[in-house]
Amino acid sequence: MVKSQNITWHDSEVTKAERQEKNGHKSVVLWFTGLSGSGKSTISVALEKALFERGVRSYRLDGDNIRHGLNNNLGFSPEDRKENIRRIGEVSKLLADAGLITLTAFISPYREDRDHVREILEDGEFVEVYTKASVAACEERDPKQLYKKARAGEIKNFTGIDAPYEAPEQPEIIVDTEENSVEEAVEQIIRYLEDQKVI
């Protein structure tokens, strides 16, 4: 429900197309989704560095980082998760309009929420990157000790343990992080961006 009233969109005199031309690449949103510990943040950090070294203008939005500021008033209930992704979708749309390649690393467990972000972006701008890894593999890695805490009942509504994760049905990119290294994942995504003539 929109609460704002008496508002009018104020257009810029610089278009998205002009920004993209100046940057020398298109703008897309690389939406990393997967279980906690599947490699979303690790791969997005490495990819951001690789794109930067190629002169590609990009920016990374990370789930934990965003919850330190913009979304620090949200918890992990289904309703809060939905609002978390809605806000990130809107921020990503602004960054796409700015001509950037945006990398987002969010569990974003519900297909409906990810599909909503796809719908608010232009055709071809939403690139779903599924960092595929089993719960067992993620639990074995458990870099933040979150699975251990969830199993002990210290964390409620933890995705993959007592909250659902709806894997993408037709993602643009599947990165199997049980089979591929971070470097291989980065190469795979860069190849996709080149093949799609994004960069």
Question: What residue type is assigned to position 109 of the chain?
Answer: P
What phi, psi does 107 have (nearest 5°)?
Answer: -50, -45
Q: Quick check: 34 pLDDT over 70?
A: yes
Question: Which residue numbers belong to the known binding site?
Answer: 34-41
Residue 108 known to be catalytic:
yes
Exposed/middle/buried for 4, CB within 10 Å: 0-12, 13-18, 19+?
Answer: exposed
- The answer to whether residue 59 sits within a structural domain is yes
CATH number of domain containing 150: 3.40.50.300
- The answer to whether residue 7 sits within a structural domain is no
pTM for the complete prediction?
0.90
How confident is the model over 94-121, as a mean pLDDT? 96
pLDDT 10s digits, 58-102: 999 987 788 888 888 888 888 988 999 999 999 999 999 999 999
- The answer to whether residue 5 sits within a structural domain is no
Question: Which residue numbers belong to the known binding site for ATP?
Answer: 34-41
As a dihedral over the C-alpha atoms of residue 75, residue 80, residue 86, residue 87, rounded to 10 degrees, the angle is -40
- The answer to whether residue 54 sits within a structural domain is yes
- The answer to whether residue 115 sits within a structural domain is yes
So what's the pLDDT on residue 1? Answer: 59
- The answer to whether residue 41 sits within a structural domain is yes
Provide the pLDDT confidence category of residue 2 given band limits of 50, 70 and 90.
low
CA distance 85 to 120: 12
- The answer to whether residue 32 sits within a structural domain is yes
> Domain range holding 62?
16-196
Among the listed residues 44, 58, 92, 108, the single catalytic one is 108
Total number of domains constituting the chain? 1
CA distance 30 to 106: 11
What integer best gives the mean pLDDT of the chain? 93
- The answer to whether residue 2 sits within a structural domain is no
